[in-house]
Structure 1
Amino acid sequence: MGTLSYAYTDYELDDRLLTHLKVAITSKLRQKEGFLLSWVTPSDRGSGRISLWMSPEIPVAYRFAGSKPPELNRVWLDALVRSAHGIRGMMAMSEADAIEYLAAAGASTAP
């Protein structure tokens, strides 16, 4: 499990998901865009939902448990970035959910 540190709070996330979020979040913040980042907390960790307003003015840090970065999935990255433009903001989703999200949006899932 890695850690997303934002606004003096740490959030534990799977390293693979965190790697993809890092790329997607950085691409938005680099363009000076603020956006909402949301995810569901699993029942084994208390249940519920978390939403963060991601702003270029607030420092963000990523700490990974593993030493080797995972291979990036461009389809997953596309789904994360596209979801940031929706009313719910960027949704931290699984790789399988990313394919479903893009299909529902009528977008291509070809890498």
Structure 2
Amino acid sequence: MGSLVYDSRTSIPMEDRTLAHLQVVILAKLRRRESFGFTATVDDREVSLWFGPRVALEFRYADRRRPAMNRAWLELLADVASSRDGLVIAPEPETADVPDPRPIPRTPSTPRRPARPRPAPLPDVA
């Protein structure tokens, strides 16, 4: 079981699969500089948090293998996150085609530089 750590003080335990889907949705919204609320149940009590660009978040996984992504669940979570009530963990919809999981990289991957265009060949001069 992994956890979502909010501002180094609040830890919300959850399954790695749920955490991976939340990470995609949360980071997409924060990349767009969108702030939003998040509500989860921890130890039979409701915890509500505010996510914004300046809040420190940590996604801690129990397993190194990244769970397969369910596009339908990502879309559902993104819709819920954009609602008036903010992001809550909605149940995962059924899907038939789930790809094999892949390992989680230890460090963020560096984007590749685009290939340099090759100069046009010189015309033959006779």
TMscore range, shorter length: 0.7 to 0.9
TM-score (structure 2 length as normaliser): 0.69
Report the CA distance between 1:13 and its aligned residue: 1.1
Alignment partner of 2:54 out of 54, 57, 63: 57
* Identical residues among aligned pairs (%): 35
Q: Which residue of 2 aligns with 1:106?
A: none
TM-score by length of 1: 0.78
Question: Aligned pair count?
Answer: 95
Give 1:48 shift.
Answer: 2.1
Question: Post-superposition shift, 1:83?
Answer: 0.6
Structure 2 residues without counterparts, runs of 5 or longer: 98-126
Alignment RMSD (CA, Å)? 1.8
Q: Which residue of 2 aligns with 1:102?
A: none
Question: Is 1:25 aligned to residue 37 of structure 2?
Answer: no
Q: Using the alignment, how far apart are the partners of 2:90 and 2:19 within structure 1?
A: 11
Q: Distance in 1 between matches of 2:40 and 2:55?
A: 19
C-alpha deviations, 1:64-94, integer Å up to 9, x for none? Answer: 0011101000110001111112121011122
1-structure distance, mates of 2:73, 2:47: 20
Where structure 1 has 5 or more consecutive residues not aligned to the other structure, the ranges are 100-108
